[in-house]
Amino acid sequence: MIIRRFADFAAGLSSADLPDSTMHAAKRAVIDWFSSTLRGGLEPPATLLAKAFPDSNGPHGPHKALIYPSGRGADAPTAALINGAAGHTIEFDDIYRDGLYHPAAPVIPAVLAVVQARNLSGDAFLRAVTAGYEVSNRMAVAVNPAHYDFWHTTGTIGTFGAAAGASVALGLDGEGVGHAMANAGTLASGLQQAFRADAMAKPMHTAHAAQTGVILALAAEQGVTGVMDILEGERGFGAAMCTNDKNPSGPDWQAAADALETSFTIERMTFKNHAACGHTHAAIDGVLTIRNEHRLKPDDIGALRIASFQKAVEICGNADPQTIFEAKFSMPYCAAIAMTAGRVRMDAFSEDLLKDQDLRVLMDKVEFTVDEQLTKEFPKRRAAHVAIETTGGETFEHYSPTRKGDPDNPLSDDELADKFIELTEPALGGDGAAILLDALWRLDSARDLVSLPIHAAGAAAQ
């Protein structure tokens, strides 16, 4: 059974001789997840979920898994649920480009909850995170692009990754990990309609995936079994959710499993440099490059033309966003704010900016179209052509073949650290953010993860 191949590989990572580069990459993934989670934990739906599940015995009681940024204790499934939502709320979490997938938001909170509840080490944590990433990243590549027509890969494949990572953290063998992953196949969900309108449903996908992963791992530990041909079976996951005219034969699970031994995908993650949907990033990079090279101001813009792949236009073509959520999925908004502010970070999205008439005038000058060649290259390449015509009659063009933060144009460790400090200061304060960052770079030597130096500042506590 294919699922056993994924499971055996994942289980083996608990004791494998992992390269230093892989362990370092896992730390980078965890640091980036904490930056999104500690900021996202200050906002709905995480704050509302914390109210919905208030029971707690505190961080040093029998429920040792922690909810962030407050540090309140909870049972492992509840902590995974709330932290899973927090990590995907501000649209700043990592991406596995080839799989149309954000692994951190479902995988890391599931593994962290189990590791904290069982008082396991930082080394065990990083190994289990790596296991969750490796199997789910490969599965995400196998199911797409067909799966992405209707399904949110992060909610669906993320359930497999969370189950695998949590099971490895529990020390399950290949059979145990396999049963947890098999049951993930029948519980995985997440429809793309959830992020076509302003709602809290999209981060609830990652919340569900993380929590379900923990529940399935704990169930497998006690002997609960799953259907082991859930991936390739006649009425299984592949046939039901990953087959259409783009891929009539369904996923090539064999190829995905064969690829497990070739390299570590966690070393090729995209870490976002802009606080918006990843489909906007190549265009934002192009706008910023032209703006900075030619010292353009908003008043200089006569027309701003962007051509990118079809999914970018389909998902981010909203020319009249009315909410902050919609703005993060609006190429006209993101391009206009990039030109106006010179960056697209958290401060680029506010109610005041949504109503700013000068910004609206600039948005109306943005033309966003599909480029057929870039569509053919998607998802392996996320590119964009940008052309700006000035009011003075000049035209400046830029082709972004990739995005800043992609593995072929990565954020350095220092850039990743700067992003972490920027995002976590509201929750932890400047000193608190720096202290936590230092601890996260040394995770492989941490004796436990309950005592990570995370102390919510003032009103940040949930």
Q: Please list the residue range(s) of the chain that carry CATH number 1.10.4100.10.
A: 2-272+411-460
Please determine, for residue 46, whether its predicted confidence score (pLDDT) is greater than 50. Answer: yes
Report which residue type is found at 149.
D
266 vs 253: CA distance, rounded Å: 19
Q: Are 370 and 309 in contact (CB under 8 A)?
A: yes
* Predicted local distance difference test score (pLDDT) of residue 249: 85
Please determine, for residue 56, whether its predicted confidence score (pLDDT) is greater than 70. Answer: no
The 10s digit of each residue's pLDDT in 208-237 is 999 999 999 999 999 999 999 999 999 999
Q: What is the average per-residue pLDDT within 280-298?
A: 98
* Predicted local distance difference test score (pLDDT) of residue 405: 97
Q: Are 78 and 117 in contact (CB under 8 A)?
A: no
* Predicted local distance difference test score (pLDDT) of residue 63: 64
Please determine, for residue 459, whether its predicted confidence score (pLDDT) is greater than 50. Answer: no
Q: What is the average per-residue pLDDT within 49-63?
A: 71
Q: Where does residue 349 rank: exposed (0-12), middle (13-18), buried (19+ CB within 10 A)? A: buried
Looking at CATH, the fold of the domain delimited by 2-272+411-460 is given as 2-methylcitrate dehydratase PrpD (1.10.4100)
198 vs 58: CA distance, rounded Å: 34
Please determine, for residue 306, whether its predicted confidence score (pLDDT) is greater than 50. Answer: yes
Burial 373-401 (b: 16+ CB within 10 A, else e): ebeeebbebbbbbbbbbbeeeeebebebe
376 vs 411: CA distance, rounded Å: 26
The 10s digit of each residue's pLDDT in 10-38 is 999 999 999 999 999 999 999 999 999 99
Q: Are 368 and 359 in contact (CB under 8 A)?
A: no
* Predicted local distance difference test score (pLDDT) of residue 61: 52
Residue, of 456 and 60, whose pLDDT is higher: 456
pTM, 2 dp: 0.94
Q: What is the average per-residue pLDDT within 52-68?
A: 74
The 10s digit of each residue's pLDDT in 117-150 is 999 999 999 999 999 999 999 999 999 999 999 9
> Shortest CA distance to 359 belongs to which of 309, 423, 298, 422?
298
Burial 301-328 (b: 16+ CB within 10 A, else e): beebbbbbbebbbebbbbeebeebbbbb
Q: What is the average per-residue pLDDT within 88-115?
A: 97
Please give the CATH number for the structural domain made up of 278-400: 3.30.1330.120
Q: What is the average per-residue pLDDT within 169-192?
A: 98
Of the chain, the percentage scoring pLDDT greater than 90 comes to 92
Band (pLDDT 50/70/90 cuts) for residue 247 is: confident
CB neighbours (10 Å) of residue 20?
8
Band (pLDDT 50/70/90 cuts) for residue 460 is: very low
Band (pLDDT 50/70/90 cuts) for residue 62 is: low
Q: Please list the residue range(s) of the chain that carry CATH number 3.30.1330.120.
A: 278-400
Q: Are 160 and 181 in contact (CB under 8 A)?
A: yes
* Predicted local distance difference test score (pLDDT) of residue 173: 98
Residue, of 171 and 54, whose pLDDT is higher: 171
> Shortest CA distance to 411 belongs to which of 37, 105, 91, 29?
29
Query: Considering the chain, what is the average pLDDT of its residues?
Result: 95
Beta bridge partners of 367: 305
Please determine, for residue 461, whether its predicted confidence score (pLDDT) is greater than 60. Answer: no
Please determine, for residue 331, whether its predicted confidence score (pLDDT) is greater than 70. Answer: yes
The 10s digit of each residue's pLDDT in 390-401 is 999 999 999 999
- The bridge status of strand 366-370 relative to strand 301-308 is parallel
76 vs 59: CA distance, rounded Å: 12
Please determine, for residue 358, whether its predicted confidence score (pLDDT) is greater than 90. Answer: yes
